Amino acid sequence: MITSPEPEPPAVPDAPASAEALLRALTLRLDSQTKPPGSLGVLESLGLRIGMLQGTLTPSAERSRICVFAGNHGIVSEGVSAFPSEVTLQMVGNFLEGGAAICVLARLSEASLHIIDAGVSPQAAAKWTAFDTFFPRAQRAGTRSFLEGRAMTSQECDAALQAGREQVHLAARDGIQILGIGEMGIGNTTSAAALCCALLNAEPSSIVGRGTGVDDAGLERKRSAVARALQFHHTNLENGDAARHWLEAVGGYEIAAMTGCILEAADARLPLVVDGFIATAAALVASRLKPKSLEVCFFAHQSAEGGHPLVLAALGATPLLSLGLRLGEGSGVALALPLLRAAARLMCEMATFETAGVSNAFEAEPPV
């Protein structure tokens, strides 16, 4: 069987020196391609954003990685989860053995996986030494209950932030072009909801959802825990100071690690895909600590967790997908990565009217 060779992608000049010139050049390229302007919808804006972040007319999202940050939560003692805390450690093992949903989806999207123990078990390092994709960074086996005191100390928060920053450094070393963040942590929807309520001045009833699937009584316990935490840790601090206060007071080690990952990605101009509700809570914290951090964030999906749409709206974020997911793990990231890869390839490989010898009906202004 004889097959036709794939056409050579059109030659693209080097990127202009300034951001303004690059934006004009990328926009011109999109509008010169063999399609009506804007007809590829969101894919066009995605390709343009990746090109701007990478500083090139030939963006690429081929080499991708998903980081799954894990941590336990002391607030589980209040009966806010349908599952016990030991499930977090068990699921870390499942990630490493390749049996979890994110493992299947990461293989499908051709993304590598890193599993980071941000706060599950300080003893886990000895258990999984054979896995070079496992990063034992836990200082403590879960946060403290935020109804009894602060969830973490300032020093613990710093270390968790650094665990996230480290993954951006490793991504740069490994030539990763697009990074994704997800999480695993029994009890973390309660911590994330408390963070979002505090930073958005929202009522628990509008943010707190069922998480792992708690019944009505469990949902009421979650809402009560968040409401009490908001009173217990009340502060008059604002903006970045308030974000740091609430991250330490009610956050999780994995949420802090994802926050650090976003902040470092912003410094590195590395495109970063944010998963569901928990990861979006980390993005909210990062946006208060460094507003420009949202420039690198692509929001994978709108989850089925009740408060997620409200938090996305507060961030001015438009999710790429809406599939009713509420798993976490970075599952939405893995599903969104092919869209970002497609957007970058279209920017690079699609012919222009000139190179294809196709008449451009959109070149001239229509008659008035």
pLDDT tens, residue by residue, 67-107: 999 999 999 999 999 999 999 999 999 999 999 999 999 99
C-alpha to C-alpha distance for 96 and 355, rounded to whole angstroms: 47
The separation between CA 333 and the C-alpha centre of its own chain, rounded to angstroms, equals 7
Is the separation of the CB atoms in 242 and 288 below 8 Å? yes
In the chain, domain spans: 19-60+345-356, 64-339
Q: Match domain 19-60+345-356 to its CATH number in 3.30.43.10, 3.40.50.620, 3.40.1710.10, 1.10.1610.10.
A: 1.10.1610.10
Q: In which residue ranges of the chain is pLDDT below 50?
A: 1-7, 9-10, 366-368
C-alpha to C-alpha distance for 66 and 88, rounded to whole angstroms: 18
For tokens 């420039």, the residue is 295
What are the pLDDT digits (tens) for 20-44?
A: 999 999 999 999 999 999 999 999 9
Q: What is the CA radius of gyration of the chain?
A: 22
19-60+345-356 and 64-339 share one CATH topology? no
Select from 115, 3, 124, 12 the least CA-distant residue to 66: 115
DSSP letter string over 122-144? TTHHHHTTT-TTEEE--SSSSPP
The predicted structure's pLDDT at residue 185: 97
The predicted structure's pLDDT at residue 124: 84
The predicted structure's pLDDT at residue 363: 65
Q: H or E element: which one contains 48?
A: helix 42-54
Quote helix, strand, coil % in the chain, to nearest 5: 50, 10, 40
The predicted structure's pLDDT at residue 129: 86
Is the separation of the CB atoms in 69 and 183 below 8 Å? yes
Cα atoms in the Cβ-side hemisphere of radius 13 Å centred on 335? 22
The predicted structure's pLDDT at residue 87: 97
Q: Which residues are catalytic?
A: 329
What CATH number belongs to 64-339?
3.40.50.10210
C-alpha to C-alpha distance for 113 and 176, rounded to whole angstroms: 12
For tokens 């806010």, the residue is 80
Is the separation of the CB atoms in 298 and 340 below 8 Å? yes
The predicted structure's pLDDT at residue 14: 60
Q: Is the dihedral of CA 151, 152, 154, 157 positive or negative?
A: negative
